[in-house]
């Protein structure tokens, strides 16, 4: 099969880590008999430098003509908040997610066996293993609601942020979650604040209706405050966790921290029709850009997610994940995950070791 992939290399360490991930895809292609072709897409600070806008015209159309999108990272101090919105990399990120209709953000948080000691939780908790998938609604809720700021006569300035969710928005993320659970350990934990919020009560009723349609998947409701606590007390109890935008923003960062380094964690953002977008959860790390120091594993594992979820190539995805685990089990470390006694390899060498393991 031939798969066409849009590559957004971006800024900072973006080009370095995308290079290694592309090398891994090519190795998978060679080994399993697929062809991957690439289309370079300019987005972020590098696009501002080249054409004056972080999100050049036609970007979404080029991405939509591909089977999947791989993004390194965008941003950096050169294109900070003093610049007009159209020159800021963050504007481009929000725009591409919106234009591709990417309403579901998937972030696996798995403790890689060789790095169990990097887990900040109690040893006996880490030993039980952590392998959960956080599904965050990405285009609704309070981050996209109507905002207001006005003067009151007696209380100074007052502001409001509206949190709105429709049944349609909840149902589509819910369905995706139950389908995802069927590919994993078949358990869904739906996180809300239904004891307080009306949007959560609607969320819960839609999830309950869906749970009846998926009787093979175990289902539970978890209040958001309890979920925050359970993630540090016993994260091994979770398989797929689904929640609305703001709760997901906070809980997915908490879940990623319990697994160690941000240099290891991939993510996917999906919609219904356009290609999905895969990216590491970290940023462009301008402090180490161009120094062959970046950990390419999060981007390489993003490619494994692409193989699994966009191309339905499970054996190929397994091969990439196993190659990463072998590299770590053999003791190879980039600087961000190395202990003082361990030998450090650079971005390129880590990429090569993982390719050799496939
Ligand atoms: P960051 O994730 O870029 O870096 C935080 C720290 O982690 C830094 O010390 C960095 O060196 C380190 N780090 C990050 N990724 C690493 C990797 N792969 N290997 C080794 N070390 C790594 O976060 P930040 O410093 O807050 O942001 C830097 C820039 O990235 C900002 O402009 C921000 O807006 C942007 N950003 C972009 C995205 C994205 O493209 N999706 C996400 C977050 C931040």
Order of strands across the sheet that contains 2-10: 35-40, 2-10, 68-73, 277-280, 266-270, 104-110, 131-137, 240-243, 187-192, 218-223
| 134 and 31 in a common domain | no
Tokens of 86: 């159209």
| Residue 99 DSSP label | H
By alpha-carbon position, which residue is closest to atom 24 of ligand 1?
283
pLDDT at 132: 96
Q: Whose CA is nearest to atom 6 of ligand 1?
A: 285
Same domain, 87 and 38: yes
pLDDT at 262 over 90: no
Q: Which atom of ligand 1 is nearest to the CA of 335?
A: 20
Number of domains forming the structure of the chain: 2
What is the distance in A from the centroid of ligand 1 to the CA of 283?
Answer: 3
| Residue whose CA is at the smallest distance from ligand 1 atom 4 | 285
Given this model, what pLDDT does residue 191 score? 98
Question: Which sign, positive or negative, has the C-alpha torsion 87, 91, 95, 96?
Answer: positive
Residue entry with tokens 């998926």 = 214
Atom in ligand 1 nearest the alpha carbon of residue 74: 40
Which tokens in the block code for residue 158?
């007052």
Torsion sign (Cα): 345, 348, 352, 354:
positive
Residue 279 near residue 302, CB atoms below 8 Å:
yes
| CATH number of the structural domain spanning residue 254 | 3.40.718.10
For ligand 1, the distance from its centroid to the CA atom of residue 214, given in whole angstroms, is 38
Predicted confidence (pLDDT) per residue in 9-48, tens digit:
999 999 999 999 999 999 999 999 999 999 999 999 999 9
Look over the chain and give the mean of its residue pLDDT values, rounded to a whole number. 95
Residues with catalytic function: 143, 193, 225, 249, 253
Ligand 1 center to 151 CA (angstroms): 38
Q: How far apart are CA 237 and CA 61, in angstroms?
A: 41
Q: The whole model's pTM is what?
A: 0.91
339 within a domain of the structure (yes/no): yes
Predicted pLDDT at 128: 84
* Ligand 1 neighbours (beta carbon < 6 A): 13, 73-76, 90, 93, 262-263, 279, 282-288, 294-295, 298, 336
The residue-averaged pLDDT of 139-162 equals: 94
pLDDT at 302: 98
In whole angstroms, give the CA distance from residue 303 to residue 19.
Answer: 12
For the chain, give the number of residues. Answer: 358
**Residue closest by Cα to atom 27 of ligand 1:** 283
Res 119 pLDDT > 90: no
- Cβ atoms of 263 and 72 within 8 Å: the answer is no
- Whether 129 maps to a domain, the answer reads yes
Average pLDDT rounded to a whole number, residues 55-74: 97
pLDDT of residue 133 exceeding 90: yes
Q: Does residue 196 sit in the same domain as residue 235?
A: yes
Q: Determine, yes or no, domain membership for 263.
A: no
Tens-digit pLDDT profile for residues 87-104: 999 999 989 988 999 999
Distance 286 CA to ligand 1 centre (A): 7
Residue 353 maps to a domain: yes
250 shares a domain with 124: yes
116 Cβ contact list (under 8 Å, min separation 6)? 126, 127
Q: Please give the Cα distance from 13 to 241 (Å, whole number).
A: 30
Two tokens at 335?
């600087």
Q: Domain check: are 250 and 175 in the same one?
A: yes
Q: Write out the residue range of the structural domain in which residue 185 sits.
A: 120-258
**Binning pLDDT at 50, 70 and 90, where does residue 71 land?**
very high
Give the pLDDT of residue 123: 85
């Amino acid at each position: 099969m031939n798969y066409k992939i849009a590559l957004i290399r971006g800024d900072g360490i973006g080009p370095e880590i995308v290079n290694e991930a592309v090398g891994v895809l090519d190795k998978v292609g060679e080994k399993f008999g697929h062809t991957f072709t690439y289309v370079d897409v300019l987005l972020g600070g590098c696009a501002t430098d080249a054409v004056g806008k972080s999100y050049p015209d036609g970007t979404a159309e080029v991405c939509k003509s591909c089977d999947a999108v791989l993004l390194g990272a965008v941003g950096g101090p050169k294109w900070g908040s003093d610049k007009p919105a159209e020159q800021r990399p963050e504007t481009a990120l929000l725009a591409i997610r919106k234009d591709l209709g990417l309403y579901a953000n998937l972030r696996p948080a798995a403790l890689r066996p060789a790095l169990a000691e990097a887990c900040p939780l109690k040893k006996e908790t880490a030993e039980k293993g952590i392998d959960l998938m956080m599904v965050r609604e990405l285009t609704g809720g309070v981050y996209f609601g109507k905002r207001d700021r006005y003067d009151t006569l007696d209380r100074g300035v007052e502001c409001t942020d509206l949190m709105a969710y429709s049944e349609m928005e909840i149902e589509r993320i819910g369905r995706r979650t139950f389908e995802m659970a069927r590919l994993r350990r078949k358990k869904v934990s739906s996180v809300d604040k239904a004891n307080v919020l009306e949007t959560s009560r609607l969320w819960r009723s839609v999830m309950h209706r869906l749970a009846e349609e998926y009787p093979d998947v175990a289902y539970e409701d978890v209040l958001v405050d309890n979920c925050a606590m359970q993630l540090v007390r016993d994260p091994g109890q979770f398989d797929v966790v689904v929640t609305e935008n703001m709760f997901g923003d906070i809980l997915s960062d908490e879940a990623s921290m319990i697994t160690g380094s941000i240099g290891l964690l991939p993510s996917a953002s999906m919609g219904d029709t356009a290609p999905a977008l895969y990216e590491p959860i970290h940023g462009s790390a301008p402090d180490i850009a161009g120094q062959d120091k970046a950990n390419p594993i999060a981007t390489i594992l993003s490619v494994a997610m692409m193989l699994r979820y966009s191309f339905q190539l499970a054996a190929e995805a397994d091969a990439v994940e196993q190659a990463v685990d072998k590299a770590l089990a053999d003791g190879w470390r980039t600087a961000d995950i190395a202990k003082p006694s361990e030998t450090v390899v650079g971005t390129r060498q880590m990429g090569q070791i993982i390719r050799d393991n496939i």
